[in-house]
Amino acid sequence: MKINQDFGMSVQTVLFLKNTNPAEFLRAGEIAKTLSFSVGYLQKVVQTLSKHGIVECKRGRIGGIRLRAKVITLYDLWKATCGELDITEPALAIMKKPLKAFADSMKNVVIYKKD
């Protein structure tokens, strides 16, 4: 199964940020270098995460990125980067149950919880 690049990048970024000082803003360039991402592409993903309230961005000399949400699940990142899963009316009726199970399992995987 191939995971959407934006989703994968968002998971890695949140995991990276959770291991830093939560009050500190980290520069996109620093994150991108550490995780071997393109800075421009990371900024696109971070902008999406910011629109969904997952991260906070600050411009300027002392700006950067830090986690904003108190709890972040895999499903939060999936919704932000891939959109909602259509579990009520999937293209094939036989997919309804597996899609619901997939969504429910992602909702149970908390990758960040503010102490």
- The CATH number linked to 50 is 1.10.10.10
Q: What is the pTM of this model?
A: 0.88
In angstroms, the CA 113 to CA 115 distance is: 6
Contact of 31 with 39, CB cutoff 8 Å: no
How far apart are the C-alpha atoms of 99 and 9, rounded to whole Å? 22
Segment-wise mean pLDDT, segments of 10 residues, the chain, 115 residues: 82 96 92 96 96 94 93 96 80 81 94 91
Phi, psi of 60 (to 5 degrees): 105, -175
**Total domains, the chain:** 1
Going from the C-alpha of 14 to that of each of 24, 97, 105, the distances in angstroms are 14, 29, 19
Give the residue numbers spanning the domain of 21: 5-113
Q: Is 16 helix (H, G, I), strand (E, B) or coil?
A: helix
Per-residue pLDDT tens for 60-87? 888 899 999 999 999 999 999 999 877 7
Q: What is the pLDDT of residue 29?
A: 94
